[in-house]
Amino acid sequence: MDVLQLIVGGVENEGQYVGNTEICIKTPAYEKHTEILNYLSKYFKKLRRCAFLALPVGEIVGSHIDEGTYYLTKDRYHLSIQGKYEYTVGDETIIVEPGTLFWFNNKLPHKAVNIGDNVRITFVFDVPHHKSNL
C-alpha cells in the first residue's frame, strides 16, 4: 500500500508510540493539496492526521484496530476517490464506490479489500470528535 501523508503524527521522545501523542505535523504535501483541504473545511472545523492511501487491485489491508490515546477523541473518515472496495468494521461489511464519504469506528477491527479493476485511492482523515460531525 502506498501512502501520501498530509498531516502525520509526531513523538516527543525516542520510543514513544505515535498513537499516544496528540502531535500532528503538516508535511510538504499539505500545501499542495488545497482542493481536498478546502472541501473538508466546509464540513469539519479541525483536520488532524490525514493521508491519501493507494491499494492495488486484489490487495488487502488486514484486520486491525487503531490503538492509542490519540484515537480516543478522534473520529475517522474515508473519502473514496477511485476504485471499488469492500470495507469491514466489526461484523458489518459494505461496498464502497468512488465519491463515498463515511465515518467508521476505528476502535473496532477493520479491514479493506480492493475488489475493483483499478487502484483504490482513499483519503483517510481524523477530526476531533464532536456531535456535529457528519
Domains assigned to the chain: 2-75+82-128 (2.60.120.10)
**Predicted local distance difference test score (pLDDT) of residue 48:** 97
Write down the pLDDT at residue 12: 94
**Residue 18 Ramachandran class (φ > 0 left, ψ -120 to 50 alpha, else beta):** alpha
pLDDT of residue 134: 58
- pLDDT value at residue 1: 75
User: Which pTM value belongs to this model?
Assistant: 0.92
Helix (H) or strand (E) holding 39: helix 34-41
Rounded distance between C-alpha atoms, residue 22 and residue 27, angstroms: 16
CA 120/CA 112 separation, integer angstroms:
10
How far, rounded to the nearest angstrom, does the alpha carbon of residue 5 sit from its chain's CA centroid?
10
Q: List the chain residues with pLDDT less than 70.
A: 134
